[in-house]
Amino acid sequence: MKVRTFTLNSKKEIISKITREVLTLFKVEVVGREGEADFAQLSVVNHRLPVEGEPREGAKVCMETTLMLFAEDGTLKSYTRRECGKEDELERAAVNRTIKLNLYHIFCEELGYAPASWGILHGVRPTKIVHRWIEYGMDEEGIVARLMTDFACSEEKARIITPMAFRQLPFLKTSDEKTISIYVGIPFCLTRCLYCSFPANVLPGPKKLAEFMAVLKKDIEGAKAAVEAHGLKVQNIYVGGGTPTALPDAEFRTMLGWVCDAFYHDNLAEFTVEAGRPDSITPEKIAAMHDFKVTRVSVNPQTMQERTLKVIGRQHTPEAVTEMYHALRAAGIPHINMDLILGLPGETAADVDDTLAKVTALNPDDITLHALALKRGSRLKLIMDERHVDLPGAEVTRQMAETAMGYMERFGYEPYYLYRQGYMAGDLENIGCCHKGAEGMYNIQIMEEHQTIIGIGGAATSKVVDFKNKRMKSSFNAKDLVTYLRDIDIYIEKRRALLDEACAN
């Protein structure tokens, strides 16, 4: 649908945000005065109604939403829905949800748009809602039903995230107020992939790299001091990026040594390194990971189609992925994860079938299926805008997901964590599946936000949980390398202050 103008009877930022989320979901485009348009104006009007006499027992909020479509000749089409909140909802949350649900139902039931598989579950972490309901004492079937009614979530998606949340409970219970994880960000790659929107840099020359290493050491020492000052226990270490193995052999070993000296202990649950690409791996790096007792390595082929690898700017072959995998297994790395992307340019469901056949034949412990998120920061987005690259359509991407999940079920991989992003192909999700006992503890902790994560390095984020006040605060290291190197003392101090505040409560 294309409209010339859009109006909303609220100036509140959150109301505008949730309204535009629904408009974006159904691809409503505001074109202005120029160009073709289906309607002259789309208006959304929300009113709060008295709850007396409403059928929802215990409801604190009842909202009525009217969507009006004005044609060029002045004729009007108007549609109205009303929805009440639930007794266990916070008032503000109920207002936002019911407005969004009203608008969603108008598009689906009155305007004839196809329902979205996730309904109005727009957030990054849909399982957080499930965990809240588990705490309220709801059972699995009750939660599935409520996801479908309160959020218009499809039964398929509801039956993925609900058992997933119950499966996560034993892992979340391993953490208490003093338990944390460490994230170390190495913001370098050997080359930049076509689809990438992450704040990574091509590996710099020796002088700049030496400067980064000196600053990283200072960052690690600052985090170590804060951990020791508050008596915190490190459960997991995750070295990500970028591609950490893009570092030269000597710097890679040095970095792992600093991390281990600061945070490693015999009861550490998990020590993960993102190795990513075969062209970044050497026997010396594998030996370093073995020597420093890394327990989990992520190998990210993204696809096993050689022509696609060339298109997206990867400097390796599918055969090199297999060789890397076997080399890590031979070195005794306990767990290997492999990341794949669905919706890459030029691929079909048959290509995904071939990729999954090759990957499952290797029998990695954990496979993460990512749906391509075409963000503004990626070169692929710019090229797509110039129409030089074709991506699979939404329906084809969903077929890819069905194919991939079929392999997961066939080879005994169960979903254990999930998150969503904006601009995702096919309105899908990123989902991690693993063999029983191979769950990535860090992945669960960071997605469910039950634990403080201390971020170190370029573009790293620290998320500090204040358990007493039931809130989380974040501090961010700069995404660009020059600013991170220049302002490291500021980032160390901000992180320390957040920990001091949370631990004092």
Phi/psi for 71 (5° steps) reads -80, 170
Instruction: Report pLDDT for 53.
Output: 59
Assigned fold of 179-493: TIM Barrel (3.20.20)
What average pLDDT does the segment 119-123 reach? 90
The Cβ of residue 18 has, within 10 Å, a number of other Cβ atoms equal to 20
In tens, the pLDDT along 221-244 reads 999 999 999 999 999 999 998 899
b/e string for 470-487 if b means 16 or more Cβ within 10 A? eebbebebbbebeebbee
Cα gap 292→297, rounded to integer Å: 13
Q: 449 or 106: which carries more pLDDT confidence?
A: 106
pTM confidence score: 0.91
In tens, the pLDDT along 312-361 reads 888 889 999 999 999 999 999 999 999 999 999 889 999 999 999 999 99
In tens, the pLDDT along 442-477 reads 999 999 998 999 999 999 999 999 998 889 999 999
> Residue 54 — pLDDT band, cuts 50, 70, 90?
low
Are the C-beta atoms of 461 and 245 separated by less than 8 Å? Answer: no
Q: Tell me which CATH homologous superfamily contains domain 1-112.
A: Lipoprotein like domain (3.30.160.150)
**Percentage of the chain surpassing pLDDT 70?**
93
> Residue 387 — pLDDT band, cuts 50, 70, 90?
very low
Q: Which residue, among 204, 199, 205, has the nearest Cα to 240 in the 3D structure?
A: 199
Q: What is the mean pLDDT of the chain?
A: 92
Instruction: Report pLDDT for 180.
Output: 98
Structure tokens at 479: 């995404």
Residues in the chain: 505
Instruction: Report pLDDT for 195.
Output: 63
Could you say which DSSP state residue 109 is in?
I
> Residue 423 — pLDDT band, cuts 50, 70, 90?
low
Structure tokens at 30: 């505001």
Alpha carbons within 13 angstroms on the beta-carbon side of residue 164 total 28
Q: Which residue, among 217, 367, 237, has the nearest Cα to 289 in the 3D structure?
A: 237
Which secondary-structure segment (H or E) carries 463? strand 461-466
Pairing verdict, β 2-8 and 29-30? parallel
Structure tokens at 109: 């039931």
Instruction: Report pLDDT for 198.
Output: 61
Q: How far apart are the first and last CA of the chain?
A: 51
**Percentage of the chain surpassing pLDDT 90?**
82
Question: Given a cut of 50, is residue 31 above it in pLDDT?
Answer: yes
Q: 3-state DSSP call for residue 475?
A: strand
Lowest pLDDT segment from 107-116, 125-134, 194-203, 476-485: 194-203
Instruction: Report pLDDT for 214.
Output: 98
Which secondary-structure segment (H or E) carries 92? helix 91-105
